[in-house]
Amino acid sequence: MSDPEVLAPAVLDRLAGIGKADIVVGIPSFQNAATIGHVVHAAQTGLAKYFPDLHCVILNSDGGSSDDTAAVVASAGGFDASVVFVSNPVRPIHRFTVPYHGLPGKGSAFRTIFRAADILDARACAVVDADLRSITPEWIHLLVAPIVEETADFVAPYYHRHKFDGTITNNVVYPITRALYGKRVRQPIGGEFGVSRALVRHYLSLPVWETDVARFGVDIWMTTTAICGGYRVCQAFLGAKLHDAKDPGADLAGMLVQVLGTVFTLMETHEDIWQRVHGSEPVPVVGFQYGVGLDPIRVDTGRMIDHYRRGVRDLDPIWRTVFERPTLERLRDLATRTGADFLIDDELWAGLTYDLAVACHRRVSERADLVRAALPLYMGRVASFVIEIAEADAAAVEARIERLCIAFEAQKTTLRSNWADGRR
Amino acid sequence: MWQVVRQVLTQAWQQFAGQSLAVLPNVLAGLLFLVIGIALTMVAGRIAKFLLRRSAVERSANRIGLTAWLERAGILSATAVVVRLVQVVCALMTASLVLYALDAALAADLTKRFFLYLPDLGIGVSIFVGGILASRVIGRRALIGSVNRGLPAARLLAALARGGIVVLSSAIALDHVGIGHAILPSALLIILGGATLASALAIGLGSREAVSRWIDERLGHSVEPESDGIEHW
């Protein structure tokens, strides 16, 4: 069970004062003063509108923001009850900010939220990012209702995103998670989740909160743990996901290490499960699905291909420890191509990803180094994908991603064999 | 006159023959030890190899992650390392026996000196090996980081980082075993020079684009966005 010291005595007193809750909505934050007011407002309205009879708490788990995040949460006004209710009084919704402790990172914020939900004995716990601009009260309903109605233990988000966005999800995390664990969770690192009481307690009971999961990778960890734990999983269609622009100088290599590093660590943890899984099955989606118009994005594939070529030119000594010679020759050949001829096809990409997983399993080098060394390959794949889908509509892009997933599933036999042999 | 010369030659030959005959048993014994030692070293190596293969030590080393560590240091087989260690021990014993056969006093003196020197030598070798391993890790990170940051001289920067650590660790190791006390300050100077060159390259090459953008902005030219335009997450 979780260490109760995760929460400060003052917070424990506050929770004791509240006693018990049915729903806890957690909002992890760091420097989100610009957007968190809207998120709190949407959560508050959603809880009041869809769960007026239930006892609800909104908990902001803050990582020491120096802006006005906590003040915005405290002052985020109520809602116009006449807009959302025909009748019925509303139960008061408790709302407060808790600074989280432990290792700095989103995982520690989640731990604080889960611990509070556990103490409050909440039936359902939803977590939403503090930088969301497109969140509506319906999101809370969609994330929480399947849990309250006891039809699911874990609700993953399902968004419409621009066809060029979410490339780590589309090209790596979704295909590999689906192929490994057999569940088609389209946004396994979405950032918004609904979790049942049983699953919250399961999460808290696992000895990961002092590891890297506490820092990063908590999204994929939660999804994978829910699937591997045999919990009922569903997806909630939330429409478009729009959020504050990430820092343009953000370290993409670091992000890749966070996500892929956790995926590969989980492959070690759940080896006995994914080795037995063949194929994949759909995961039910709740919510009315509709088309979403998204602003066009201008993409610079030239920059990505240059990055790929630099990798081919300079990283050969490292890639040789990961990939077989024919694969390396294909990569070198690709570096000479341009335009539509620059194509990292699905079979090659699935093979590269699996080879990287096996190399991490063999520990031929530090995991973070191997993943960072794979960044040029990822950039090449993204450039190739962007070139390929430049004129495609949303449905065609989904069909394209489906073909990629099938390639990952088809090559799983090779992965099993190489993993067992310790060969690349 | 000729009689005296003949007498000197005879005495010299007799002395040479006498001393050679006196040493000959030692030389023969030494040669015998050498031949037996070489044969034993080879046989011991083969036996060790056979036993290690039978005991699946390679698989065990792989399982506990030792193989990967050795691979990082450029050693492809745990078995090869153990076999080489056995052979080195046999070779040292052979050399010791040969020396004792030739001159017990000299051998005893050398053995004593060797064992007195051994701790310093061990530490020196450890420092050197540690430096080599660290240089590989840091060189690799410098290479990956430079490639991902778009620096054209990635390999040069990595080589400078790697070389700097090798030079420094070698200098410290040599200093520790008492060879070339003046090497350490020289090595530090080399490192400082290398670091300055690497920094100049990194800053110069890295800021080339920034300077170009700054000039374009000043001249009122349109400036391309720095990111690729995609939200990868």
Q: What is the pLDDT of residues A228-255, one digit of tens each?
A: 999 999 999 998 888 876 654 467 888 8
Give me the residues of A, 297-316, that contact B with CB < 8 A.
Answer: 297-301, 303-304, 306-307, 310-311, 314-315
B153: nearest CA in chain A? A314
Would you say A95 and A47 are in contact if contact means Cβ atoms under 8 Å apart?
Answer: no
- Residue A217 has, within 13 A of its CA and on its CB side, a CA count of 24
- Whether B56 has its CB under 8 Å from any CB of chain A: the answer is no
DSSP three-state, residue A28: strand
Q: What is the pLDDT of residues A108-125, one digit of tens each?
A: 889 999 999 999 999 999
CA B233 – CA B229 distance, rounded (Å): 12
CA distance A85 to chain B (A): 37
* pTM recorded for the entire structure: 0.78
A275 and A407 in a single domain? The answer is no
Out of A293-302, B54-63, B90-99, least confident range: B54-63
CA A306 – CA A376 distance, rounded (Å): 9
CA end-to-end distance (rounded Å), chain A: 39
pLDDT above 70 covers a percentage of chain A that reads 91
A190: nearest CA in chain B? B233
Task: Specify the pLDDT at position B69.
Answer: 67
CA distance B136 to chain A (A): 11
Q: Per the domain annotation, does A295 fall within a domain?
A: no
Task: Specify the pLDDT at position B226.
Answer: 53
Query: Any idea what the CATH number is for the domain that residue A267 is in?
Result: 3.90.550.10
A318 vs B71: CB contact, 8 Å cut-off? no
Average pLDDT over residues A283-292: 85
Does the structure show a pLDDT above 70 at A197? yes
Task: Specify the pLDDT at position A96.
Answer: 75
CA distance A310 to chain B (A): 6
pLDDT confidence of A359, banded at 50, 70, 90?
very high
A243: nearest CA in chain B? B231
Say which DSSP state A170 is in.
Answer: I
Q: What is the pLDDT of residues A152-180, one digit of tens each?
A: 999 999 988 888 888 999 999 999 999 99
Does the structure show a pLDDT above 90 at B147? yes
B143, B230, B232 member nearest A314 (Cβ): B143
Does the structure show a pLDDT above 80 at B86? yes
Beta strands in B96-183 (DSSP E): none
Q: What is the pLDDT of residues A298-327, one digit of tens each?
A: 788 888 999 999 999 999 989 998 999 999
A266 and A362 in a single domain? The answer is no
Q: Per the domain annotation, does A291 fall within a domain?
A: no
CA A158 – CA A191 distance, rounded (Å): 11
Q: Per the domain annotation, does A53 fall within a domain?
A: yes
Q: Which residue has the higher pLDDT, B138 or A90?
A: B138
pLDDT confidence of B116, banded at 50, 70, 90?
confident
CA B95 – CA B107 distance, rounded (Å): 10
Out of A6-20, A77-91, A373-387, B83-97, least confident range: A77-91
**Domain enclosing residue A241, as ranges:** 4-286
A306 and A275 in a single domain? The answer is no
B144, B150, B229 member nearest A315 (Cβ): B144
Please list, in sequence order, all residues whose beta carbon lies within 8 angstroms of the beta carbon of residue A373, skipping any fewer than 6 positions away.
A311, A315, A318, A319, A322, B144
Average pLDDT over residues B60-68: 68
A264 and A307 in a single domain? The answer is no
Distances (CA, A) of A232 to A104, A147, A218, A223, A288: 30, 10, 19, 11, 20
Task: Specify the pLDDT at position B217.
Answer: 62
A363 vs B140: CB contact, 8 Å cut-off? no
Task: Specify the pLDDT at position A245.
Answer: 64
Distances (CA, A) of A182 to A155, A279, B26, B55: 16, 6, 77, 39
Does the structure show a pLDDT above 80 at B180? no
A314 vs B155: CB contact, 8 Å cut-off? yes
A207 and A319 in a single domain? The answer is no
Average pLDDT over residues A27-49: 89
Q: What is the pLDDT of residues B151-176, one digit of tens each?
A: 878 898 899 888 888 888 888 888 88
Q: Per the domain annotation, does A359 fall within a domain?
A: yes
Average pLDDT over residues A191-220: 89
Q: Do the interacting molecules here have an ipTM over 0.90?
A: no
CA distance B175 to chain A (A): 31
Contacts of B228 in chain A (CB under 8 A): 299-301, 303-304, 379, 382
CA A113 – CA A25 distance, rounded (Å): 8
Residue of A159, A300, A309, A322 best to disrupt the B interface, most CBs of B under 10 A: A300
Contacts of A375 in chain B (CB under 8 A): 148
pLDDT confidence of B65, banded at 50, 70, 90?
low
B68 vs A298: CB contact, 8 Å cut-off? no
User: Can you read off the two tokens belonging to residue B193?
Assistant: 């020079």
**Backbone CA torsion sign across B204, B206, B209, B215:** negative
CA A416 – CA A352 distance, rounded (Å): 14
Q: Rounded to 10 degrees, what is the CA torsion of B126, B129, B135, B141?
A: -90
Out of A58-62, A285-289, B177-181, least confident range: B177-181
A61 and A188 in a single domain? The answer is yes
Highest mean pLDDT among A66-70, B120-124, B193-197: B120-124
Please list, in sequence order, all residues whose beta carbon lies within 8 angstroms of the beta carbon of residue A211, skipping any fewer than 6 positions away.
none
Q: Per the domain annotation, does A140 fall within a domain?
A: yes
CA distance B100 to chain A (A): 46
Does the structure show a pLDDT above 60 at A79? no
A86 and A218 in a single domain? The answer is yes
Pairing of strands A56-62, A154-160: unpaired
pLDDT above 90 covers a percentage of chain B that reads 10
Task: Specify the pLDDT at position A290.
Answer: 76
Q: What is the pLDDT of residues A324-355, one digit of tens each?
A: 999 999 999 999 998 888 999 999 999 999 99
Average pLDDT over residues A91-120: 81
Q: Per the domain annotation, does A292 fall within a domain?
A: no
Task: Specify the pLDDT at position A87.
Answer: 46
CA A299 – CA A242 distance, rounded (Å): 18
Q: Per the domain annotation, does A243 fall within a domain?
A: yes
Beta strands in A7-87 (DSSP E): 23-29, 56-62
Q: Which residue has the higher pLDDT, B78 or B8?
A: B8
A54 and A121 in a single domain? The answer is yes
Contacts of B229 in chain A (CB under 8 A): 164, 297-300
User: Which of A286, A321, A355 is where one domain is finished?
Assistant: A286
Tell which residue, A390, A195, A175, has the closest CA to residue A299.
A390
A134 and A13 in a single domain? The answer is yes
Task: Specify the pLDDT at position A249.
Answer: 46
Task: Specify the pLDDT at position A78.
Answer: 59
B68 vs A386: CB contact, 8 Å cut-off? no
Length of chain B as a residue count: 233
A10 and A130 in a single domain? The answer is yes
A281 and A305 in a single domain? The answer is no
DSSP three-state, residue B174: helix
CA A178 – CA A315 distance, rounded (Å): 30
B231 vs A165: CB contact, 8 Å cut-off? yes
Average pLDDT over residues B185-191: 74
Does the structure show a pLDDT above 70 at B220? no
Q: Per the domain annotation, does A293 fall within a domain?
A: no
pLDDT confidence of A140, banded at 50, 70, 90?
very high
Average pLDDT over residues A123-131: 94
- Whether A248 has its CB under 8 Å from any CB of chain B: the answer is yes
Highest mean pLDDT among A29-43, A317-331, A358-372, B3-17: A317-331
Domain count for chain A: 2
Distances (CA, A) of A289 to A46, A329, A356, A397: 19, 44, 36, 17
